[in-house]
Chain A
Amino acid sequence: MPEARVIPLRPEDDPAAPPPATDWDEQVSRALEFVRRRVTGDYDTDEFGFDPDLTDHVLLPALRPLFSRWFRVETQGLANVPDIGGALLVANHSGTIPMDALMATVALHDEHPASRRLRLLGADLVFQLPLLGALARKMGTTLACNEDAERLLRAGELVGVFPEGFKGVGKPFSERYTLQRFGRGGFVTAALRTGAPIVPCAIVGAEEIYPMIGNAKTAARLLGLPYFPITPTFPLLGPLGAVPLPSKWFIAFGEPIETASYGPAAADDPMVVFNLTDQVRETIQHSLYRLLLQRRSVFS
């Protein structure tokens, strides 16, 4: 039984109580300091374009209400993500818009004891798009290619990858929670070359945020996109269709699969690569089924 919490009725009676907290002025003061840093360029960015100052003070706070209030994300197995050193987080991808990547970033930053930053790998399309591409880089995303992945892993970063890619995010609602093909296993070779463990991650809930019931292929071709989603609310309700449905989310981090014992040479052995790819895929699929059984309904 948890200990009863003592709630002081009149804090000024307690001699140890801190002086009355004027919370808002500290916040305003911090915001002003942030504005000064931004206007004068007095902040650091890394060679991938990651801007921790912007991420911590604007992007993550903007995502937090979605994380805790809207999707009420519950995390499991955070202990499976190592506190330090490089690791490759491999997750299922869904939801028409890669919201799952953003929620996983918030989960690992806010709830992991070591406040780990998830460095995502994104498709080249992301970096071609104006605004979105620049914003993605500032959040720490970089191009999904082996060179970048290996460099991040060697630098001891936690790298997040969605091997399904557009096949996963843009799949119809009827195929929800079935994993798509896992590309060519490029992520496994990156892990093998750097000896980084692979952490399989299953995300449940993202499939229902924008249930894609159709794909306007002509519109997609015209806009140069891999798919153009039609959901029950989009484009029917216009901008209102951009509001995601408030599904209940679970993010489960599975036990790490170590790769160091294979040695870096194994990256050139297709058999090892395919076996590991399948192992990761199966693990994620099983955890998806397990989480789906645990979930009482889509929205609670």
Chain B
Amino acid sequence: MPPAVVLVTGVSRWLGGALAAELAADAGLERVIGVDTVPPAPNILRRLGRTEFVRADIRSPLIAKVIESASVDTVVHMNITATPGAAGGRDPMKELNVIGSMQLLAACQRASSVRRFVLKSTSAVYGASPRDPAIFTEAMQARRMPRGGFGRDSLDIEGYVRSFARRRPDVAVAVLRFTHVIGPRIDSLLAGYLRLPVVPTLLGHDARLQLLHEEDALAVLTRAATGDFAGTVNVGAPGTVLLSQAIRRLGRVAAPVPGPAIGPLSRLTRATAVADWSREQVELLHSGRVLDTRVLREEFGLTPRFTTSAALDDYARTLAPVIAPELVGSVTGGAQSVVGRVAEGVATGRSLFRRRGDAPVVPGLRAVRDL
């Protein structure tokens, strides 16, 4: 049964807004309700179309009234903050993430109209440690508990969602574990990090990165909201790149920083509002994390259009490279042609020299040398 009334939380951010806009464009849907604590930015608001925006904190009981009165049948929960900076500190972040999700789930459990619950989770629930297998499937668990706030919050939220699914077996629950979403428009964490002209990396480590293009992320969310998939699925693009490789492809300069210095540095950049990245992201840079996407392709039924490198290339279009690849190409190309010319010169010089030194060539007579 296709949904009629969809509620999207976290609609003021790019991906939430884009999903609401996409759903609003679908004439089959009766109503689309967007919820967030802050009003959407003008550029997002313009796209929202017939989406009804409700400014509400999902931590307040108001959300229950919205769900009840509009008889919402599908809830897409994507109001989970990844960095303390965006929420105003680690405590408000945890409050918003965990308590907010609990309130939302409590409201959904009460509302008999809810038929479907989609959680935008994250691959951070797998943690990142050198003892991890190279590729995670949905059935695997973190070998070491994620140390960062975002990963722990996400694990908690997934736990609450699972218990909600047990209490309301009639609700189809889809948990989508997203890798890093990147693209020209989205303001994701990794996008901000890779936008730095000099990118601090962890000395002696080179993480494998799996990305997802924003359009594919949107397609997955739309399908999850309107389709009938229930269960947990890893969402990521095919292929991986190494962090060093991504930095080079974007024309950035990597600045390897020794492990102990990375904490103070991240605090400094956050304090000076250069970039908002936490220790957790840095730990991810330690070993990286790659998801197995067989379930996405075969059971969920969607193959991302962009591979990891294609997504990276698309993102690169929006950046002015610090080291332009054309420049590198022309420098090495120039050097190659110089080498070629020198080699030619040497070869002609040598042949001239040889011609003078050797005996005259007599046709039909082979040179024989006494040994």
A interface residues (Cβ-Cβ under 8 A, vs B): 9-10, 12-13, 20, 22, 24-25, 28-29, 32-33, 35-36, 38-43, 45-49, 51, 124, 127-134, 137-138, 142-143, 145, 147-148, 151
Residues of chain A contacted by B329 (CB below 8 angstroms): 36, 40
Residues of chain A contacted by B344 (CB below 8 angstroms): 22
Q: Interface readout for B313-345 with A: 1 if CB under 8 Å, 0 if not?
A: 000000000010100110011011001101110
A293 vs B291: C-alpha distance when bound (angstroms): 49
Interface contact B249-A124, CB-CB below 8 Å: no
Task: Assess whether B42 is interfacial by the CB under 8 Å rule.
Answer: no
Which of A28, A129, A134 is close to B339, meaning CB atoms less than 8 Å apart?
A: A28
Please report which residues of chain B, range 284-301, place their CB below 8 angstroms from some CB of chain A when the two chains form the complex. 287-288, 290
A144 to chain B, nearest CB (A): 10
A122 vs B57: C-alpha distance when bound (angstroms): 49
Residues of chain A contacted by B203 (CB below 8 angstroms): 130-131
B interface residues (Cβ-Cβ under 8 A, vs A): 130-135, 137, 140, 202-206, 208, 210, 239-242, 244-251, 259, 287-288, 290, 323, 325, 328-329, 332-333, 335-336, 339-340, 342-344, 346-347, 350-351, 354, 358, 361, 366-369
B339 to chain A, nearest CB (A): 5
A145 vs B367: C-alpha distance when bound (angstroms): 65
Interface contact B343-A24, CB-CB below 8 Å: yes
A-B contact pairs, 15 of them (CB 8 A): A20-B347, A20-B351, A25-B342, A25-B343, A45-B241, A45-B242, A47-B208, A47-B240, A48-B208, A49-B240, A130-B259, A143-B131, A143-B134, A147-B140, A151-B135
Interface contact A20-B350, CB-CB below 8 Å: yes
Interface contact B366-A40, CB-CB below 8 Å: no
Residues of chain B contacted by A9 (CB below 8 angstroms): 367-369
| Inter-chain contact total with CB atoms closer than 8 Å | 123
B203, B206, B249: most-surrounded residue (chain A CB, <10 A): B206
Which of A10, A29, A51, A134 is close to B204, meaning CB atoms less than 8 Å apart?
A: A134
B55 to chain A, nearest CB (A): 42
Interface contact B130-A127, CB-CB below 8 Å: yes
A25 vs B341: C-alpha distance when bound (angstroms): 9
Residues of chain B contacted by A129 (CB below 8 angstroms): 204
Interface contact A41-B245, CB-CB below 8 Å: yes
Residues of chain A contacted by B131 (CB below 8 angstroms): 124, 127, 143
Which of B134, B204, B343, B368 is close to A22, meaning CB atoms less than 8 Å apart?
A: B343
A40 vs B369: C-alpha distance when bound (angstroms): 53
B288 to chain A, nearest CB (A): 8
A130 vs B354: C-alpha distance when bound (angstroms): 54
Interface contact B249-A41, CB-CB below 8 Å: yes
Whether A143 contacts B367 in the complex (CB less than 8 A), given A25-B340, A42-B249, A127-B287, comes out as no
A20-B350, A36-B333, A124-B131 known; 15 other A-B pairs, CB under 8 Å?
A: A13-B361, A22-B346, A28-B336, A29-B340, A32-B332, A32-B335, A40-B329, A42-B249, A130-B203, A130-B204, A137-B206, A138-B206, A143-B133, A147-B133, A151-B134
Residues of chain A contacted by B351 (CB below 8 angstroms): 20
Residues of chain B contacted by A51 (CB below 8 angstroms): 242
A133 vs B203: C-alpha distance when bound (angstroms): 11
A36 to chain B, nearest CB (A): 4
A24 vs B346: C-alpha distance when bound (angstroms): 11
A43 vs B239: C-alpha distance when bound (angstroms): 13
B245 to chain A, nearest CB (A): 4
Residues of chain A contacted by B205 (CB below 8 angstroms): 130, 133-134
Residues of chain B contacted by A143 (CB below 8 angstroms): 130-134
Residues of chain B contacted by A32 (CB below 8 angstroms): 332, 335-336, 339
A151 vs B205: C-alpha distance when bound (angstroms): 23
B300 to chain A, nearest CB (A): 19
A51 vs B244: C-alpha distance when bound (angstroms): 12
A148 vs B366: C-alpha distance when bound (angstroms): 63
A218 vs B323: C-alpha distance when bound (angstroms): 48
A186 to chain B, nearest CB (A): 13
A35 vs B369: C-alpha distance when bound (angstroms): 45
